Structure 1
Amino acid sequence: MPDPASSADDASLAARRQLLIGLAIAIVGAILFSAKAIVAKLIYRYQVDAVTLIAFRMLFSLPFFAVMAVWQARKAASLSGKEKGQIVILGLLGYYLSSFLDFLGLQYISAGLERLILFLTPSFVLLLSVFLMKRRITLVEWSALGISYLGTVLVFVHDVRLGGSNVTLGGLLVLGSAVCYAVYLLASGELVKRVGSLRLVAYAMCVSSVACIVQFFLLRPLSFLVQPQAVYGLSLVNAFFCTVLPVFLTMIAVQRIGAASASQAGMIGPVSTLFLGAMLLDEPITGIQLAGTALVLCGIYLLSRKKA
């Protein structure tokens, strides 16, 4: 007869292995997604503007999301006209406008500050749910919000002293990006239950990609398609390694360990951006930046634990 204790130990080891693999996948996804700020900064060195940058990013990523969308459509029920309209609106808001504001802001602020501001998105979701859905916030949640915002303000004031008024403009643009994505998350809550998360992301990203590409052809001459070879290479990295791959990795991680654990693993994002910025962009790491980053991470951790 099999030993019950041995079977229990095997099951425990298997569960732990599943958790560790899921966490590793979530961490890699978070680091890759955060690295888009680093890649964008490298592309800006070639005098490429935000409209062109995001167009190349979505042009290279569109085939991957189109294949995913077709694959999802073949095995799922057809969408109603209302659902199609909602997906178009969400795609324009959550991925087109949010990404465009983010890349605009990155022209003026450090990659580390950009990641910190974007990391406040869960807190914006919470605040929007208070004003729009009349949800009550607990004392723990208020404390988490206060700690997170204090950390961001600390880093923001530090960067303003070094970078001047452009930091304020860049910070406001990235803040707008975070708010847009928070609205997207809040609005997609019911739709994702009917459509499915992977299908919704694929469709929304296709809408966003088309919008970014159309925007480019409306605002820029065709001659802007001719860029240094390095821009094409970096744009391909931005599209696949910082956009498509993180989406798949995050979905896999959520399936393995759940959304709460995956989101907590994603807290590595701001930290990785800070150090990648120092290594690849020569952005300084100061005590104030580390303290601000720690405060933001503590606040978001409290929110994630409360949500969990």
Structure 2
Amino acid sequence: MSKTASDVSVAPTTHPSIVGGLAIAIGGAVLFSMKAVVAKLLYRYHIDAVTLIGFRMMFSFPVFAAVALWKMRTEPPIAVRDRWRLGGLGLIGYYLSSFLDFSGLQYISVGLERLILFLTPTFVLMITALFFKRRIGRAEWLALALSYCGIVLVFAHDLVGGKGSTVTGSLLVLGSAVCYAIYLLGTGEMVRRIGALRLVAYAMSASSVACIVQFFVLRPASMLVQPLPVYELSLVNGIFCTIFPVFMTMAAVQRIGATTASQAGMVGPVSTLFLGWAILGEPITTVQLAGTGLVLGGIYLLSKKKTTS
């Protein structure tokens, strides 16, 4: 009798929590995917990747720095070795990865960019197989095959618009995905010891400083003077496409777990495809939809394999 009553009392609170977690994960994925669209809009004002990420981090840095300082005062200090490691990984995962990504967006569509970035889990798998001698199973090979067939399909489709620029842009974004995969592998064990919030705040603060310093070293201070839309779009990029999705993803993981949150994040490439069509006028073709479906199918299989292994 008491068990039934307990089940009844728990059920109403559990369901809204799952629904809320899914909504947060989907919202975070859509907002994070929007950065490609915002970047395309910013490039219309003839700024480059250095200026774009410099402005992005100028708007987002105060928030991440505030969280980092709060964690420094309220939690025990982390080891010096971890500080250096975290700083280096932050530079790879957020500074270099972002720079390559935004550089690649100057040449390719937002749909192709999002699909290439979505291959990050496959790079994690391949890096662990090459350097840590982890065996890749049949299901994982199938997931890899589906994902890369989808990318080849969309890549071949976009080559029609310009071979040189598509290859250049794709290679840059590919480098971005590899950098982020290295970051994920390097911070996987640190998350348990340091905590996700502190880890992200420190890593983002380190990358923000690097992006801002890079801007002032490579560009004259006069580049700070831009048309009003550049400031508005950069504010959107820094707050709604950087700060919000980072914390929303963390909140979703706490509510529904990393696996379910990552599966909900699969809406990202699809949302980018339609946002690119609605805002930028990029066409949506049957080939692009088919390629997107293959990539999502492959990543879904890979995520399911992880939950059962």
TM-score computed with the length of structure 1 as normaliser: 0.98
**Partners of 1:61 and 1:240 in 2: how far apart?**
6
- What's the % identity of the aligned pairs? 63
Q: Structure 1 residue 72: deviation in Å?
A: 1.5
Partner residue in 2 for 1:128:
127
CA RMSD in angstroms, aligned pairs only = 1.1
Partner residue in 2 for 1:305:
304
Alignment pair present for 1:244 and 2:263 = no
**Partners of 1:13 and 1:296 in 2: how far apart?**
36
**Partners of 1:270 and 1:306 in 2: how far apart?**
21
Aligned 1:9-28 pairs, distance under 5 A: 9-28=8-27
Partner residue in 1 for 2:173:
174
**Partners of 1:294 and 1:162 in 2: how far apart?**
22
Partner residue in 2 for 1:209:
208
Q: Structure 1 residue 80: deviation in Å?
A: 1.6
- CA deviation map 1:101-125 (0-9, x unaligned): 0000000000010000000000100
**Partners of 2:242 and 2:280 in 1: how far apart?**
20
Q: Structure 1 residue 4: deviation in Å?
A: 5.0
Partner residue in 1 for 2:141:
142
- CA deviation map 1:128-175 (0-9, x unaligned): 000111101110000001000100110011001123310100000000
**Partners of 1:132 and 1:4 in 2: how far apart?**
49
**Partners of 1:210 and 1:96 in 2: how far apart?**
9
Q: Structure 1 residue 3: deviation in Å?
A: 7.0
4+ residue segments displaced more than 2 Å:
2-7
- CA deviation map 1:197-236 (0-9, x unaligned): 1101100100000000111111111111110000000000
Partner residue in 2 for 1:290:
289
**Partners of 1:242 and 1:51 in 2: how far apart?**
17
Q: Structure 1 residue 13: deviation in Å?
A: 2.9
Q: Structure 1 residue 5: deviation in Å?
A: 3.6
Structure 1, unaligned runs of 5 or more: none
Partner residue in 2 for 1:265:
264
**Partners of 1:183 and 1:7 in 2: how far apart?**
45
